[in-house]
């Protein structure tokens, strides 16, 4: 019996890895601590990144990963090109170190907006990324992917988690008032399905849709609302916020149409023009820690640590992931 237990432990031994100097290290440590409370088969390992004078990098895995199921938790705060290169090299290192199975845990998946050929002579970068990842990785684990097309680019399992249930639990505890007199708004037509899904999970039936018109990339020139927001609080739902210009236009249009308070939830906060610009416009900004965030009195960060720990546990044990959302 002891021999059987030992063989079982060895078969499903799991390794959590992250860049020990990156902003995702604390995230990885928190996931590891959650998993370690469940079983001794989980261990923490470090990715060391050496940089040469000409900015080339060398990846080294600190400890042995032979025949282990490896979950590489990548740092979404890194610049896109750096993020891409390190991901490719870590997967290469894990495969040549004889890892049993490689799962790339990508809390925010870079290049996911570039999922189609929208003009002549451009690359479909999301597909190029899938080609590189699929060389060595066995599985993708991410949350609230920007495009529904992404899984179709991959020939390996692509698990896209949903944060709507997590937001529901957070609001029930922290801000139950938001669930009582709010309408869910999608800031653009493309996010309508997402807004409906969140509304269903939050128990909010009233959905309003924003329509934005752009002349140039990153600029919102006109914004209109389909649906009534008069005398209601508004909860704007989006998967990511970049500059925040769309949110600011949505907030102004909502207030002009008679809305009272304006709250915002996004899974991935890029905040490329700073968080202050957005927070001074809305009553409350909520975001997950898929990307490391600064402190601000109007910004509340919802932790994904335990959620990803549960997903990793279920993946490693061969359990259902869909039960996380039911």
In this structure, the chain runs to a length of: 326
pLDDT of residue 224: 87
**Residue entry with tokens 């990885």:** 28
Cβ(16)–Cβ(27) under 8 Å? no
Residues 158 and 259 in one domain: no
Number of structural domains found in the chain: 2
Buried b (16+ CB within 10 A) or exposed e, 138-152: bbbbbbbbbbeebbe
User: Which residues lie below 8 Å from residue 265, measured CB to CB, with a gap of 6+?
Assistant: 167, 198, 235, 236, 237, 238, 286, 287
- Residues 309, 298 within the same domain: no
Both 278 and 265 in one domain: the answer is yes
Same domain, 172 and 144: no
Are residues 294 and 313 part of one domain? no
**Per-residue pLDDT at 214:** 63
Buried b (16+ CB within 10 A) or exposed e, 168-199: bebbeeebeebeeebbbbbbbeebeebbbebb
For residues 81, 84, 85, 86, the Cα torsion angle rounded to the nearest 10 degrees is: 120
Is position 212 annotated as part of the catalytic site?
yes
Q: How many CB atoms lie within 10 A of CB 272?
A: 11
Residue 104 shares a structural domain with residue 171: no
Burial of 208-234, coded b for 16+ CB within 10 Å and e otherwise, reads bbbebeeeeeeebeebebeeebeebbb
Same domain for 119 and 16, yes or no, is yes
**What CATH number is attached to the domain comprising 297?**
3.40.50.2020
Q: Does one domain contain both 217 and 265? A: yes
At residue 47, the 3 state secondary structure works out as: strand
Pairing of strands 42-51, 57-61: antiparallel
Determine the pLDDT at residue 147: 86
- Residue 275 sits in the same domain as residue 177: yes
> Which member of 41, 68, 183, 212 is catalytic?
212
Show the beta-strand stretches assigned E in the chain.
Answer: 14-19, 42-51, 57-61, 69-73, 101-106, 139-143, 158-161, 182-186, 207-213, 222-226, 233-241, 262-269, 284-288, 299-302
197/126 same-domain check:
no
CA 87 to chain centre: 16
Owning domain of residue 229: 164-302
Mark whether 298 and 182 lie in a shared domain: yes
Q: What is the pLDDT of residue 7?
A: 47
Examine the domain organization and report whether 136 and 14 are in the same domain: yes
Residues of the chain with pLDDT under 70: 1-11, 213-221
Give, as one character, the DSSP assignment of residue 216. S
């Amino acid at each position: 019996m002891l021999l059987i237990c030992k063989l079982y432990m060895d078969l499903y031994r799991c390794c959590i890895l992250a860049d020990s100097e990156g902003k995702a290290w604390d995230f990885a440590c928190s996931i590891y601590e959650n998993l370690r409370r469940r079983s001794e088969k989980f261990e923490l390992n470090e990715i060391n990144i050496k940089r040469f004078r000409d900015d080339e990098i060398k990846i080294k895995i600190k400890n042995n990963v032979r025949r282990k199921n490896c979950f590489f938790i990548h740092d979404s705060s890194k610049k896109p090109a750096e993020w891409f290169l390190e991901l490719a090299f870590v997967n290469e290192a894990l495969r040549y170190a004889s890892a049993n199975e490689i799962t790339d845990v990508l809390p925010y998946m870079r290049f996911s907006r570039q999922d189609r050929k929208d003009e002549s002579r451009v690359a479909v970068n999301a597909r190029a990324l899938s080609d590189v990842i699929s060389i060595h990785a066995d599985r993708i684990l991410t949350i609230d992917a920007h495009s529904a097309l992404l899984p179709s680019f991959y020939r390996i399992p692509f698990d896209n988690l949903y944060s709507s249930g997590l937001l529901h639990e957070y609001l029930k505890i922290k801000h139950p008032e938001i669930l009582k007199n709010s309408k869910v708004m999608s800031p653009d037509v493309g996010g309508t399905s997402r807004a409906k899904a969140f509304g269903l999970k939050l128990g909010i039936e009233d959905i309003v849709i924003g329509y934005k018109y752009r002349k140039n990339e990153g600029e919102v020139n006109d914004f209109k609302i389909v649906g009534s927001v008069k005398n209601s609080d508004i909860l704007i739902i989006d998967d990511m916020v970049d500059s925040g210009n769309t949110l600011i236009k949505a907030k102004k249009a909502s207030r002009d149409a008679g809305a009272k308070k304006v709250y915002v939830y996004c899974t991935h906060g890029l905040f490329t023009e700073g968080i202050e610009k957005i927070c001074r416009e809305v009553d409350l900004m909520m975001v997950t820690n898929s990307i490391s965030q600064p402190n601000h009195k109007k910004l509340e960060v919802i932790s994904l640590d335990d959620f990803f720990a549960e997903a990793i546990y279920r993946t490693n044990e061969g359990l259902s992931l869909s039960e996380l959302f039911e």
